[in-house]
Amino acid sequence: MEIQVYPGKQEAAEALAEQMAEWAREGSMEHIALSGGSTPEVLFDTLAEDYWFRLPWKEFQFYWGDERCVPPTDPQSNFRMTREHLFDPLPIPDAHIHRIRGEAQPAEEATRYEALLRSQLPLENGLPRFDLILLGMGDDGHTASVFPHQAHLWDSKNLCEVAQHPESGQLRVTLTGGIINNAARIVFLVTGAGKAGRVADILGGKGDAAYPAGRVAPGDGRLIWILDEAAASGLLPDMR
């Protein structure tokens, strides 16, 4: 596991964008699972504005780690946010964008998306393998849409499950632990002081059982945590 700390969220996003450009030059980044929520917006803006000529955008295949069960035009849609901040400004073929259909019946969509992943991704260790999964973390320690109150979904034999937000009750389709931990690279992008406590718990080794984000541990892949100073403020000096 690698921990990288940068002064602010813009610097953290720029550092991740630069590493993505390096992986693309190596030819080791084709199948990419994106994260939703508000944190990736600055990364997507940075990629679209400053890296449009540095990455082979037409060669990538894009997927999602989770999606809210809303139409793709809904303001809460992870797909809509990504389209507005990343896809619209870049020359990405529609056929390379594999969205989770939030408007579909959730259980049926989880089944369909699993089948899509099995047909699109190369197999490694008996499971589909992403070259890169981008993850975020909520204040409660959730990642993708596996929340602490449904932590059992992490261990599902299915690649995708239907999760429920603990407060709003909103349904979501999410990847599960098996396919996440099978990725070649997993990168957490976490910013903000509100997440400092959870970051300290998880990276200090206390949060593996309590928080889904703490259960991200690729068997033969690379795990990178990219933090801003605010999110890293609870870490001991020797961990930074």
Contact 224, 15 (CB under 8 A): no
Q: What pLDDT is recorded for position 170?
A: 97
CB 99 within 8 A of CB 36: no
Instruction: Give pLDDT, residue 95.
Output: 97
Considering the four listed CATH numbers 3.40.50.2300, 3.20.20.70, 3.40.50.1360, 3.30.360.10, the one that applies to the domain covering 2-234 is 3.40.50.1360
pLDDT digits (tens, 9 = 90+) for 182-232: 999 999 999 999 999 999 999 987 657 789 999 999 999 999 999 999 999
Q: Is 213 left (phi over 0), alpha (psi -120 to 50) or beta?
A: alpha
pLDDT at residue 239 greater than cutoff 80: no
Q: What is the mean pLDDT of residues 88-113?
A: 97
pLDDT tens, 136-180? 999 999 999 999 999 999 999 999 999 999 999 999 999 999 999
User: Quick one: tokens of 139?
Assistant: 């204040």
pLDDT in tens, 4-18: 999 999 999 999 999
Residue 184, SS3? coil
pLDDT tens digits along 38-88: 899 999 999 999 999 999 999 999 999 999 999 999 999 999 999 999 999
> Over pLDDT 90: what percentage of the chain?
92
CB–CB of 171/184 below 8 Å? Answer: no
pLDDT class of 37 with cuts at 50, 70, 90:
confident
Mean pLDDT of 26-37: 94
Mean pLDDT (whole number) for 105-127: 98
The pLDDT assigned to 98 comes to: 98
CA distance 62 to 99: 8
